[in-house]
């Protein structure tokens, strides 16, 4: 069933320097709070961290998703949020998870090479469709681990 109020917001932001030293713990804290809160709001999504950047897609009811994005923009764990895309959608691309997170590895970086072919990772300069392809590719490649991650964080 299509929900006419369903929106997708895709953004990139620079990770705060203080978070880079223990990024795994930061991602764990984000994940734990996000799963709980996003379930209540009907929001799903995927967050990746790579080379000092967060890249995320959020999907859910328009009002709740916009409110969450505003809260995210005010979060001190990152800065310079760049909205890459905001649109009404007919269906969710990341419906499996209220939230999941992945710190990109060297192997995952090869995905980026295939998708965009750029020498450096600067998602603020990428089109929304490329970022969504990246997120969906990461989701597909790591589906089992991301699903397990959500189950553990939600427990």
Whether the predicted pLDDT of 150 surpasses 90: no
Structure tokens at 141: 């490649």
Query: Which of 38-52, 93-107, 109-123 has maximum average pLDDT?
Result: 38-52
Please report the DSSP string for 96-119 in residue order. T-S-EEEE--HHHHHHHHHHH--S
Contact 94, 138 (CB under 8 A): no
Whether the predicted pLDDT of 154 surpasses 60: no
Contact 6, 90 (CB under 8 A): yes
88 three-class SS: strand
Domains of the chain: 6-154 (3.30.70.100)
pTM to 2 decimals?
A: 0.87
Whether the predicted pLDDT of 27 surpasses 90: yes
Whether the predicted pLDDT of 155 surpasses 80: no
| pLDDT recorded at residue 79 | 94
């Amino acid at each position: 069933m299509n929900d006419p109020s369903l929106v997708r917001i895709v953004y990139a932001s620079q990770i705060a320097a203080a978070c880079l030293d223990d990024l795994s713990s930061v991602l764990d804290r984000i994940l734990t709070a996000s799963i709980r809160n996003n379930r209540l709001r009907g929001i799903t999504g995927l967050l990746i961290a790579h080379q000092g950047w967060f890249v995320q897609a959020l999907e859910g009811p328009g009002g709740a998703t916009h409110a969450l994005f505003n809260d995210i923009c005010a979060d001190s764990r990152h800065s310079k949020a760049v909205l890459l895309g905001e649109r009404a959608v007919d269906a969710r691309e990341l419906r499996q998870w209220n939230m999941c997170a992945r710190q990109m590895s060297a192997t995952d970086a090869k995905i980026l090479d295939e998708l965009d072919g750029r020498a450096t990772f600067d998602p603020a300069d990428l089109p929304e469709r490329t970022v969504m392809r990246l997120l969906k590719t990461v989701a597909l490649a790591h589906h089992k681990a991301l699903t397990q991650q959500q189950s553990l964080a939600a427990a």
